[in-house]
A and B are shown apart, each in its own frame.
Chain A
Amino acid sequence: DTGVSQDPRHKITKRGQNVTFRCDPISEHNRLYWYRQTLGQGPEFLTYFQNEAQLEKSRLLSDRFSAERPKGSFSTLEIQRTEQGDSAMYLCASSQPQREYTGELFFGEGSRLTVL
Chain B
Amino acid sequence: DQQVKQNSPSLSVQEGRISILNCDYTNSMFDYFLWYKKYPAEGPTFLISISSIKDKNEDGRFTVFLNKSAKHLSLHIVPSQPGDSAVYFCAASEETSGSRLTFGEGTQLTVNP
Contacts and interface: CB of A to CB of B under 8 A. Distances in A.
B43 A103 contact: no
Q: Give chain A's interface residue range (CB within 8 Å of chain B).
A: 20 to 34
Interface string A35-70: 000001111110010100001100000000000000
Q: Give chain B's interface residue range (CB within 8 Å of chain A).
A: 20 to 34
Interface of A: 4, 31, 33, 40-45, 48, 50, 55-56, 91, 93, 95, 101-110
Contacts of B46: 104-106
Interface in B92-113: 93, 95, 98-106
A42 to B, nearest CB: 3
B32 interface: yes
A70 B93 CA distance: 27
B99 A95 contact: yes
Given A103-B34, A103-B95, A56 B44 contact: no
